[in-house]
Amino acid sequence: MCKGNAIYIFGYSQGTIYRNVICPILYGDELSMFRQYASWSPGNKTLFIGDKKIECIGAGDEGALGVIQGLTADLAYCDEMTLYPDNVIDMIITRFSNPGSQLVASMNPRQPDHKLKKLIDLGASGNPLYYAMHFKITDNTFLTDSYVENLKNTLSGLFFRRNYLGEWCMAEGAIFDFFDKNYHVTKRGCCAEYYIAGIDVGSVNPTACVLLAVNSGKSTQTGPKMWVVKEYYWDPGVTKRQKTNGELAIDIENFLRDYPVKQLYIDPSAAAFKLELRRRGIPCCDADNDVLEGIRVTTTMMQKGVLEISPDCKNLIREIEGYVWDTRKARLGEDAPLKVNDHAVDAMRYACMTHKISTYQAPMPDQRTSYGQYRMG
């Protein structure tokens, strides 16, 4: 029991704190024992349990430093701590100067040289200031057997090792390591309810656009499907000619002309090209460019058989087969694909990641594969 009153909950954002911590306490069966003692004040982001006031602080970006810097904590819980910037993690750890103060953290694993992994290893080596527990997805008793089996069959590579096995591992090797032309490439895709497109714009680099047919599965009861129907690919390195934004916009207009495209998801940095498209009446918006999450969503969709590709998309297929993790960035602690021959893949990722149909997104459970308690002070 915490004797002091300086108690905090840290999370990637206020939204994730509410979803991952507050909701289970107020509404979840697993923590129902606390419900009669707990109340939530959304205005000042404060949780009350008994006579204890617990302040909630978003720690997902460096703007949190100014809020955290002046704190002295008796007890704190950090949700998904590996998602915080390194300097925010350092600042939080310095806030436990009071004797007997404690920091409890939950996290999914990242690269093996992550600073939190080093603290976990200290606990494993017998350092009395640190204690750590490790969990695999199969240790989560709140998940059904069918859901766990589904994750086992649909996660691959980095995401399987980290989010299913709970391993601290580097991003390395092929990203679409499961890709099989005999399975993932098909001449006859889904019956389209509507179409969407994704585009990655280049000047010196290639410009790639992919058109996807979308079927929600509600009318057929077969589940959602997406099929990459065709691709546009302009490579100045091959053609020895660069096109202006206006020329590329005309190409995209002609490429999409015969299809009722609901939305085109565009590289967020291509503001001038987005204006050119809108002048031609093409509906477009900025894509969600969370690269790692976009890769996870896209690979999961393909693993589940939700996403298939026409054999006419030769550049996209070529890029999928050569899409690999950047080992140099991995050694520096960043999970990122190698930025070579990735333009059609990026266009596909933009469309899959940004098109918000929950059944396509394959949300990861909050499995808490690693959990550490750090006794400070």
How many structural domains compose the chain? 2
pLDDT of 312 higher than 90 = yes
The answer as to whether 150 is a domain residue is no
pLDDT higher at 190 or 45 = 45
User: Within a domain: residue 293?
Assistant: yes
- Over residues 188-214, mean pLDDT: 92
Whether 136 is covered by a domain: the verdict is yes
For residue 86, the tally of other CB atoms under 10 A from its CB is 12
The whole-number average pLDDT for the span 118-140 is 90
Q: What are the tokens at 53?
A: 């006031």
Residues 357 and 369 in one domain: no
pLDDT at residue 365, rounded to an integer = 45
Say what the pTM is: 0.78
Q: What is the mean pLDDT of residues 18-35?
A: 85
On the question of pLDDT at 375 being above 80, the answer is no
> Is 105 among the domain residues?
yes
Q: What is the pLDDT of residues 283-299, one digit of tens each?
A: 899 999 999 999 999 99
In a domain, 164, yes or no: no
CB within 8 Å of 42: residues ≥ 6 apart: none
**pLDDT value at residue 372:** 43
293, 357: one domain: yes
Task: Report the pLDDT value the prediction gives residue 1, as an integer from 0 to 100.
Answer: 59
pLDDT of amino acid 33: 79
User: Between helices 86-93 and 115-124, what is the axis angle to 10°?
Assistant: 40
Question: Given a cut of 60, is residue 120 above it in pLDDT?
Answer: yes
pLDDT of 217 > 60? The answer is yes
Q: Are residues 370 and 350 part of one domain?
A: no
pLDDT at 227 over 90: yes
Q: Are residues 122 and 205 in the same domain?
A: no
pLDDT at 371: 37
Q: What is the mean pLDDT of the chain?
A: 89
176 within some domain:
no
- Residues 276, 230 share a domain: yes
Contact by Cβ (8 Å): 345, 179: no
Would residue 127 count as lying in a domain? yes
Please tell me the predicted confidence (pLDDT) of residue 357. 56
pLDDT tens digits for range 46-100: 999 998 999 999 999 999 999 999 899 999 999 999 999 999 999 999 999 998 9
Let me know how long the chain is: 377
Q: Are residues 192 and 57 in the same domain?
A: no
CB 105 within 8 A of CB 372: yes
Both 234 and 343 in a single domain? yes
Which pLDDT band holds residue 219 (cuts at 50, 70, 90)?
Answer: low
Confidence of residue 130 (pLDDT cuts 50, 70, 90): very high
Question: Do 288 and 339 fall within a single domain?
Answer: yes
Tell me: do 192 and 340 sit in the same domain: yes
Placement of tokens 């987005």 in the chain: 274
Give the mean pLDDT of 159-185: 92
- 235 touches 226 (CB < 8 A): no
104 with 34, same domain?
yes
Element (H, E) at 157: helix 157-163
Residue 344 has pLDDT above 90, yes or no: yes
- Residue 86 is part of a domain; what is its CATH number? 3.40.50.300
Q: Are residues 104 and 212 in the same domain?
A: no
Q: Is 149 part of any domain?
A: no
In order of 106, 153, 183, 193, 324, the CA distances from 302 in angstroms are: 29, 11, 10, 19, 16
What CATH number did the domain enclosing 335 receive?
Answer: 3.30.420.280
Taking residues 16-21, report their average pLDDT: 94
Q: Is 235 helix (H, G, I), strand (E, B) or coil?
A: coil
Can you give the residue range of the structural domain that contains 128? 7-143+365-375
Shared domain check, 241 and 319: yes
